[in-house]
C-alpha cells in the first residue's frame, strides 16, 4: 500500500478507525486508491463547486443496527411509502445502511439478494477513479442486489433508505446496491431517502440494462436537513436498451448525485433528468458523465433548480462521444430559478466529441419569478406566498412531467407537496 500523506490522513480522519480494520482483496485495493488521493477538494475539477468540509468537521461513527421502530414507521408514512400510492408496492427498506425485514415487503417476479450475504461487488464501479466509491467499497456492509429475469416485467419496487442518528452521535453508512435487468426485461424502481439527525449516506448503485430491456428509475432525496447525501450511480445500457432516470433533490445540508452512464451498444438510450428545490444554506449538486461508446445512441438530460435563501445549486453534465459513436443524438439543458439575491447556481455543461456525424447540443438559463405573472395572480386575490408557490410548482412540474410512470410521479409530487405546500407555509 502506498504511503499516506499527512493531508490525506487529515481528510480521512473521521473514518480512520474503520478503515484501519479493512480486509479483503477488493476492499484493500479500494483503500489503497483512497489513501493515494484522499477525498476530493475544490482543486479537483469535478469537485470545483462542491466542498466536503462537512465530512472533515464531523467525527462519524459506524452505523448502528438498532433504530426507533415508531420513528421509522412515521418516516415511511411521511415519505409516502406506507400511505397513498406507495402502500401497495413491494419495498426493500434499509435503516442506517442495514436491511430491515420488519419494514419491508419482498417483491415477486424478481430475484433479491443482499450484499451482507454475497459480499460481491459489481463490475461497473470505479473505486480507482472515484474517491467516494472507494470509500464505499472499503466500508460497505449491506445493500440490495435486484435481478430481473429475461423477458419478465418486474413491476414496481421501492428501495428505501432511512438514516437515524442520535443527537451528538453522527454516523456514516455506505450501502452497496445493484440492479440487473436481463434481456427484454422491465423494471420500475423508485429509491426514496429520508432520515433524522446528522449523518453521511454514501450509497453506490450499479445498474446494468441488457439488450432490449428497460429500467425506469426515480430517486427522491428527502434526507435530514443535517445530513450529507453523496450518491454515485453507474449505468451500462446494451443494444436497444433504455435507462430512464430522474432525481428529485429537496433534502440534506449537502447533496451530490453523480451519474456515470455508458451507452455500450447500438441504439441504446439514456435519460438522466432531475430537479432540485433548495432553501436556507442547502447545497445540491447533480453531476453526470454520459459516454456514447456505440453508434446510433440517444441521450437526454434536463435539470431544473429552484434556489432560495443562501442555497447553492450545481449542475455539471458531460457528454463524451467516442470515435466509434457515429450518429449520436445528445441533448443537455440546465435551468435555474433564483428566488433570492443570495442564492447561487453553478452550471457547467460539456461536450467532448470525437465522432464527426453527430447531433449534440447543450444550454443553460437562469432567471427569477416573472413579475407579470405574479401581478396577475395577486390581482385575482391570490396571497403573495401562495402565488409564489404556484409559479414555482409550475416551473418544476415541467421537469417532473419527464417522470413517465404515474405512480412514481405521484410519489415525487407527494414529497414536494409535503415539504412545500401551496399555502406557502414550508415544512
CA distance to 27, 147, 151, 264, 419, per residue, from 236 (Å): 23, 15, 18, 7, 34
Evaluate whether 329 touches 359 at the Cβ level (below 8 Å): yes
Q: What angle do CA 360, 364, 339 make, to 5 degrees?
A: 160
Contact between 100 and 71 under an 8 Å Cβ cutoff? The reply is no
Task: Using the CB atoms, write b or e for 204-240: b if 16+ within 10 Å.
Answer: bbbbbbbbbbbbbbbbbbbbbbbbbbbbbbbbbbbbb
Q: Where are the domains of the chain?
A: 6-265, 369-427
pLDDT along the chain (427 residues), means of 10: 45 88 95 91 94 89 94 97 96 98 96 97 96 97 98 98 92 98 98 97 98 98 97 98 98 98 98 98 98 98 97 97 98 96 96 97 94 93 92 94 95 94 68
pLDDT at 13: 86
pLDDT of residue 326: 98
pTM equals: 0.95
Alpha-carbon separation of residue 191 from 90, 138, 144, 157, 275 (angstroms): 12, 23, 11, 9, 15
What is the predicted pLDDT for the residue at 224? 97
Cell 426514496 -> residue = 192
Q: Tell me, what's the pLDDT at 425?
A: 59
Please state whether beta strands 186-196 and 204-209 pair in parallel, antiparallel, or not at all (unpaired).
Answer: unpaired
Amino acid at each position: 500500500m502506498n504511503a499516506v500523506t499527512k493531508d490525506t490522513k487529515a481528510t480521512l480522519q473521521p473514518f480512520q478507525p474503520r478503515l484501519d480494520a479493512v480486509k479483503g482483496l477488493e476492499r484493500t485495493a479500494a483503500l489503497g486508491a483512497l489513501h493515494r488521493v484522499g477525498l476530493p477538494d475544490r482543486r479537483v475539477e469535478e469537485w470545483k463547486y462542491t466542498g466536503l468540509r462537512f465530512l472533515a468537521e464531523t467525527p462519524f461513527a459506524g452505523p448502528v443496527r438498532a433504530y426507533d421502530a415508531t420513528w421509522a414507521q412515521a418516516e415511511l408514512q411521511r415519505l409516502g411509502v406506507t400511505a397513498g400510492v406507495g402502500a401497495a408496492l413491494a419495498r426493500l427498506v434499509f435503516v442506517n445502511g442495514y436491511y430491515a425485514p420488519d419494514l419491508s415487503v419482498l417483491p415477486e417476479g424478481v430475484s433479491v439478494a443482499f450484499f451482507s450475504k454475497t459480499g460481491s461487488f459489481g463490475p461497473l464501479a470505479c473505486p480507482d477513479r472515484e474517491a467516494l466509491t472507494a470509500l464505499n467499497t472499503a466500508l460497505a456492509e449491506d445493500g440490495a442486489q435486484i435481478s430481473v429475469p429475461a423477458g419478465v416485467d418486474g413491476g414496481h419496487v421501492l428501495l428505501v433508505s432511512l438514516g437515524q442518528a442520535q443527537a451528538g452521535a453522527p454516523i456514516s453508512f455506505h450501502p452497496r446496491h445493484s440492479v440487473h435487468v436481463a434481456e427484454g426485461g422491465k423494471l420500475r424502481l423508485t429509491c426514496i431517502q429520508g432520515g433524522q439527525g446528522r449523518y453521511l449516506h454514501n450509497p453506490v448503485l450499479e445498474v446494468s440494462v441488457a439488450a432490449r430491456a428497460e429500467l425506469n428509475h426515480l430517486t427522491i432525496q428527502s434526507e435530514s436537513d443535517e445530513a450529507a447525501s453523496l450518491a454515485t450511480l453507474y449505468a451500462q445500457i446494451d443494444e436497444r436498451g433504455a435507462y430512464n432516470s430522474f432525481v428529485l433533490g429537496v433534502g440534506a445540508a449537502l447533496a451530490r448525485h453523480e451519474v456515470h452512464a455508458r451507452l455500450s451498444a447500438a441504439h441504446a438510450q439514456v435519460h438522466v433528468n432531475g430537479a432540485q428545490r433548495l432553501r436556507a444554506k442547502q447545497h445540491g449538486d447533480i453531476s453526470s458523465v454520459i459516454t456514447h461508446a456505440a453508434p446510433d445512441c440517444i441521450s437526454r438530460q434536463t435539470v431544473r433548480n429552484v434556489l432560495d435563501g443562501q442555497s447553492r445549486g450545481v449542475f455539471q453534465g458531460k457528454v463524451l462521444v467516442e470515435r466509434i459513436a457515429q450518429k449520436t443524438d445528445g441533448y443537455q439543458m440546465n435551468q435555474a430559478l433564483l428566488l433570492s439575491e443570495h442564492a447561487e447556481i453553478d452550471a457547467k455543461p460539456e461536450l467532448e466529441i470525437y465522432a464527426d456525424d453527430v447531433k449534440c447540443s447543450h444550454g443553460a438559463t437562469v432567471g427569477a419569478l416573472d413579475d407579470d405573472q405574479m401581478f396577475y395572480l395577486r390581482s385575482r386575490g391570490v396571497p403573495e406566498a401562495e402565488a409564489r408557490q404556484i409559479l414555482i410548482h409550475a416551473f418544476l412540474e415541467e421537469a417532473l412531467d419527464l417522470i413517465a410512470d404515474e405512480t412514481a410521479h405521484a410519489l415525487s409530487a407527494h414529497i414536494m407537496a409535503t415539504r412545500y405546500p401551496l399555502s406557502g407555509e414550508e415544512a
